Every structure is written in structure tokens, then in C-alpha cells.
Structure 1
Amino acid sequence: MALHRRIELLQRVLTDETVQLRTRVAACLVLLYAQPLNRIIRLTIDDVLHDGQHVALRLSDPPTPIPEPLASLLLDCLAALPDNTPAANRGSAWLFPGRRAGQPMASGSLRHPLKAIGIPSGHGRTAAIRQLVLQAPPPVVAQALGYPNKSATRVATGAGAPWKSYAPGNHAR
């Protein structure tokens, strides 16, 4: 997926209020943070950190900062949870609660609405991580997104990243 297409899709999901809020948030996590659906559905409300000024999402350690306008969408999604949670799953800690008590939404239940608005979750995620490893060293991207270093390095090598010879680790002497 080309960068300009990702940007078009992001603009749409960030502004189109006819699209369900949780679908918009999931689309942004795929297109910006290269998150697979099976990780998105496992996010909990405790993974969203808000100190009054900044919003972060615990994709790994340390948590990843979330800029505006996605930060507002994420907080709106949290606020809407009581009304958008199936009755069997009230009080659930899942950010994307499922229909079964104590369970998150099934990834297919998220894949279908994304596909309906033109977001190919697999291609969108691949395009996002390829772009990210072209902009920063693979170990940095891997840590920020919760990916294994080897996976990010493999993507960087395939993308022809200028960071492919970056030596990870502590270089302090």
C-alpha cells in the first residue's frame, strides 16, 4: 500500500463520524502503529494511559505516545465503552469487549468493519511498519510497537532501510 493511500485512509477514519468509533481507533492503530488485529483486540482499558495532558498506549515498555487527533479518538472510545459493551460483558476491562463474558472481541469482528471501509488490515499494517523502519532504526521501532527486534530488522532489510547496518545495544563507554 502506497504512503499516499495510507494517508487518505487515515484522513478518512480520523474525520468520518459515520464510521463506528472503535473501528476508527482500530484502523488508526493498524495504519499508524502497524498493530495486528489479534493484538488490538487484547488491549485493555489499563493499556490507555492519560495523565491529563498526554495520552500513551501500552504497546510495549515504555508506553507509546499517542498524538492528536488519535488521542482524542482513543479517549472518546474509552468514554463510550459502557454504552458499547455487550450486556454479557459489562464491567469488562477490554478496550474492544466481545459478546462473551470476560472475552475480547473476535479479530474477525473487527476485520469485517475495517474491510467495509476500505482498510486492508494486513497490507495496512505491513505498509505502516515498512514506513516506520525507513524513518528510524529497527530496534527503536520494534521497542515502540512491541515487535521482536528480528522482525523489525527483517522488514527494514526488505524495505532497503538506511538503518539496516545500525548496531543495536548500549554504546555508552
Structure 2
Amino acid sequence: MRAFLNWAMQSRHCRRSLSIPAMKVSRRTALSEDERLDALGRLLTDTEMPMRLRVAGVIVLLYAQPVSCIVRLTVDDVIRGGDTVLLRLGEPASPVPAPVAALLLEHIANRDNMTAATNPASRWVFPGRRAGQPARPDHLCVLLNEVGVPSAAGRGAAIRQQLLELPAPVVADALGPQAKTTTRLRNEAGGTWSRYALGDHATSPGGWVPRGTGDR
């Protein structure tokens, strides 16, 4: 609307004395590390909670993924090899700890919205009700918030924790955010990786998994 009104005033399609209020952007404070770990514990153990919300919430809190990206994951992004499960969010794919892997694989085997005649072959990890479409991110955000996992605040907490443990370029490559954003968040979180050498790092640090993924 702001861009349209500016165009209309400059093109003299309306009077040029319109006053456009400044847009206010509110940001919810990121969860504390204790709150993030508590939410992870509930997601991993609460069998009364819908499985898709448990899995989506874990991906937010471990891998700092926005819901708009989570709903675009396909079963091909879940890579299985022996006892190892990887989740392709960036490059290289990120290891999935055993408790989370079990939850993720159970969800994939019993996904919602797969019984419709037009949806039995869906590749989405989170199929939507419309044939061939993933779940709506806005709807999933609301449901996550209702179970105590505010997506933006949870994502902020997750990425800040990873940036305390790893260089911003590694986090950006593995989890997907832009390097510029991770560098800013690293500074806010107090990270100390200023001497890390930029470049092509083909593999994640050996054995790395997002913190807070142990059995609870």
C-alpha cells in the first residue's frame, strides 16, 4: 500500500500531501535456552500432541527453520543410510539425532492428508488438504503457537545457540539462512568466530548435531 500511494502521489493521481504513517515492525524476543530445551523435551515426549506438530516444532527449535521452508520439505530431503538419518536443509545435509530421527520417520510413515484419492503419492513431509500442495505455513504457525512453540522466537533461539558453537558460514551453509544474517546474529549472541576462514567447507564438523538433541 505504501508503494502504491507513493506512486500515486508522484504520478499526480492523488493529492501530494498525503501523510503515510511509518510502518512499525515488532519482533518477539527469542526464547531463552532453558525455554528452548524445555519445549524440545515436550515435543519429544508428549504423545498426546499431534505428530506433525511435534516434528515441525522440533525442526524449528533444532535447525532454526522458518515454517515457510519446513512445509516445502519432501521425503527426498530425509536421507537414510543404515542407522544414520540426515535432513537436507542446506549443504551438507544435517545429521538427525536418534530420538528426533525416530519421530521424523514415524511421522513420514503415518502422514496426515494421505488418504484422499488425489494425494496418496504425495512427497511432502507435511501434505496439505489440497491435492499436490503442502500444508499452509500460516496455519501451521498458528498451531505451533498454540502448543507453545512460537516459530519466530523458537527459530531465533535455535540459531543463536548454533552460532555460539559454530562459525556463521558453517551455520549458514548447513541450515540455510543468509550469511549476512547469521553474522549479525552471531554478534548479538556473543560469538567469537571472527578469525574463521571463509571459503568452501565441504563437510560439517565431524559428529556435529544441533545442541539440545540428546535423550530427555
What value does the CA root-mean-square deviation take over the aligned residues? Answer: 1.6
> 2:81 aligned with 1:51, yes or no?
yes
Point out the more displaced range, 13-22 or 158-167: 158-167
| Whole-angstrom CA distance in 1 between matches of 2:42 and 2:199 | 39
Moved beyond 3 Å, runs of 4+: none
Contact in 2 for aligned 1:153/1:164 (Cα 8 Å)? no
Contact in 2 for aligned 1:41/1:107 (Cα 8 Å)? yes
Aligned ranges 1:87-166 → 2 under 5 Å: 87=116, 88-166=118-196
Stretches of structure 2 lacking an aligned partner (at least 5 in a row): 1-30, 202-216
**Larger Cα-atom Rg:** 2
Query: Greater helix share, 1 or 2?
Result: 1
Opposite residue 60 of structure 1, the aligned amino acid is G
Q: Deviations over 1:91-129 (max 9, x none)?
A: 111000111111110002211221111111000000110
Q: Determine what percentage of the aligned residue pairs are the same residue.
A: 49
3-state SS in 2 of match to 1:69: helix
Correspondence for 1:168: 198
TM-score by length of 2: 0.75
- After superposition, the Cα gap between the structure-2 partners of 1:103 and 1:84, relative to the gap in structure 1 and judged at 3 Å, is closer
Point out the more displaced range, 111-120 or 20-29: 111-120
- After superposition, the Cα gap between the structure-2 partners of 1:86 and 1:150, relative to the gap in structure 1 and judged at 3 Å, is farther
Match of 1:85 among 114, 117, 122: 114
Opposite residue 103 of structure 1, the aligned amino acid is Q
Aligned ranges 1:37-76 → 2 under 5 Å: 37-76=67-106
3-state SS in 1 of match to 2:186: helix
